[in-house]
Amino acid sequence: MRRHLYFPILLMIVMSCSSNNQSTSTVFANYNDYPVVHESLWLDYNPNRTVFKIWSPTAEDVRVNLYRTGYGATKTSSAYLKNNSNALWSLNKKGDLAGTYYTFEILINGIWQPETPGIYAQAVGVNGNRAMIVDLQKTNPSGWDNDQRIKIDKPNETIIYELHVRDITSHESSGSNLSGKYLGLVEGNTKIGKYATGIDHLKELGITHVHLLPSYDHYSIDETKLDSPQYNWGYDPQNYNVPEGSFASDPYNAEVRIAEFKQMVKKFHENDIGVILDVVYNHTGKTEGSNFNREVPGYYYRQNKDGSWSNASGCGNETASDRPMMKKFMIASILYWAQEYHLDGFRFDLMGIHDIPTMNAIADAVKEIDSSIFIYGEGWTAGSSPLPDQKKAIKRNTHQMPKVSAFSDDIRDGIKGSVFEDKSTGFVSGASQMEESIKSGVIGSINHPQVNYQGSSLE
C-alpha cells in the first residue's frame, strides 16, 4: 500500500447519458484502479474500413471528428465511439478513408475536452493538431523492403555523432540545396570550398551512427511560419509517433514528413550509417493541455503528495512510466519507430525518470526485432521524483538493465568541465584531479583496480 502514497487520492464518478451508450457510473479510488487494455491502440486502417480506438476510463462519451484538411475548414462529420471492455472505446467506419484528417473529443465530468489527434496518432497535419488516416505502405521509398539496419555486435563498437536535423545544413556554408530538411541531411556532393559537408563529411569522420536530436512532432515551431526565424531543440514533445513537420518539404501534407524521414533513413543506411533517435518520453511540452491529459486527465503523469505535478524533468511535469498504460505506450511507440522507420537505436532523454522494469521491457521487445538495435540514455533526473531511487533507471542501477547502456557524463565533464558551469574547466583545459573521471569513462564506468574513486569527482 505504501506505493499509493505517491498518487493523489481520486474519487471519480463518471456518468454517461448520451444516446450512444447506456448510463453507467464508475468509481476509481486511485490511478492503480484504472482498467488496463492489452489490445493494440493504433488506428486500424485498410481500404475497406478504419477502426478508431482510444483508451479513456473517465470518459462519459467519445466522438471522432472528420476533416478534409489538417488545418482550417470545418469538420465534415462526427461519429460516436462505443465503450467496450476495460474503457476501450472504438468505432468501425466503412469505406476507404485514407487521407482523411480526424480528431477525438472526450466528454469528462460533463465537459467536452479540447480536440486531440490522440496519443497514438501516426500522421498529422500542420502543427500536429489533427491526425490523418494514412496508408503507410504508400509512404515507403523504392527499395524500402530491402533496407537493412547497420549491424553491431557490441555497444562499444558504435561511434556516434550527435546532430540537429536543421542545424547541420541551415547555414549557407553547408552548400545544401535542401537547407534544414530531412533530405538535406543526406544530400550528397555538398561542399564548403574544397571540403565536404553534410553526409559526405560524416562518412569521412568514420562514424557508425548519427544521433538525431528529437525529430518527432514538437510544439514550439509554428509550421505555418517557417519563413520567420524560429528555433528549438525539440525537447517539447507533442506527437510522439510522427516526424516533425518543419524538417519536411511540406508540413501541410501529413504523408510527406513520413516519406521523407524514411528516405533519409534509407540513404544513411546505403552509406553504412545507422540512425539513432533521441526520445523524450520523460515529459511533455504541455501539461494540463497535453494530448495525454485530454484523453485521461492526470493518469500519464506523476504527482506529488499534495496532488501537484511532480517535476523531475525540470520542464514542469514528469510522466509515469511505472503505470501500466504509460508503459504500454512507451513500448508500442519505440517498436513502431523501430519497425516502421527501420531505426537503429534510441537515446532516452533523462532516462532516470523511467522505472527499471519499463526500460528492461523496452529493451527486451526491441532486441526481439533486431539484437543490434542500440538502447542507451541519460542515467539521471533533473529534479526530485516520487519514484524511489532504487526503482529509477539511473547510472547506479545500470547493472540491473543488462541490455541498456548509460551515457557517461563523468568522462565528458572530466575532459571539458561541467556543462552547467560556464567557467568550469576539464583535463584538456588544465583542470586538476580529472584523470580518474576520464579513466572511469574509458573502461565503461565499472569497478577497476586502476581507477581511484576515493576523493575524485566520481565518489
The grid coordinates listed for 263 are: 528516405
The grid coordinates listed for 328 are: 504500454
Length of the chain: 459
Q: Rounded to an integer, what distance in angstroms lies between the CA atom of residue 239 and that of residue 194?
A: 41
Q: Which amino acid is at 392?
A: K
Q: Rounded to an integer, what distance in angstroms lies between the CA atom of residue 343 and that of residue 257?
A: 16
Contact status, residue 337 vs residue 345, Cβ threshold 8 Å: no
Contact status, residue 62 vs residue 54, Cβ threshold 8 Å: yes
Q: Rounded to an integer, what distance in angstroms lies between the CA atom of residue 176 and that of residue 193?
A: 13
Catalytic residue among 378, 410, 413, 436: 378
Q: Rounded to an integer, what distance in angstroms lies between the CA atom of residue 246 and that of residue 218?
A: 10
Is the dihedral angle over the CA atoms 142, 234, 411, 185 positive or is it negative?
positive
Q: Rounded to an integer, what distance in angstroms lies between the CA atom of residue 335 and that of residue 366?
A: 6
Q: Rounded to an integer, what distance in angstroms lies between the CA atom of residue 69 and that of residue 125?
A: 8
Spell out a b/e string for 120-130, using b for 16 or more CB atoms within 10 Å of the CB, else e.
bbbbbbbbbbb
CB atoms within 10 A of CB 258: 24
Match 506523476 to its residue by C-alpha cell: 302
The grid coordinates listed for 354 are: 523511467
Q: How many CA atoms lie within 13 A of 246 on its CB side?
A: 28
435 is catalytic: no
Q: Rounded to an integer, what distance in angstroms lies between the CA atom of residue 74 and that of residue 72?
A: 7
* CB-count exposure of residue 319 (10 Å: 0-12, 13-18, 19+): buried
Q: How many CA atoms lie within 13 A of 452 on its CB side?
A: 6
Catalytic residue among 61, 115, 223, 349: 349
Contact status, residue 390 vs residue 418, Cβ threshold 8 Å: no
The three-class DSSP label of residue 81 is: coil
Q: Rounded to an integer, what distance in angstroms lies between the CA atom of residue 395 and that of residue 393?
A: 7
Is the dihedral angle over the CA atoms 107, 108, 110, 113 positive or is it negative?
negative
Q: Rounded to an integer, what distance in angstroms lies between the CA atom of residue 59 and that of residue 111?
A: 10
Residue positions annotated with a catalytic role: 349, 378
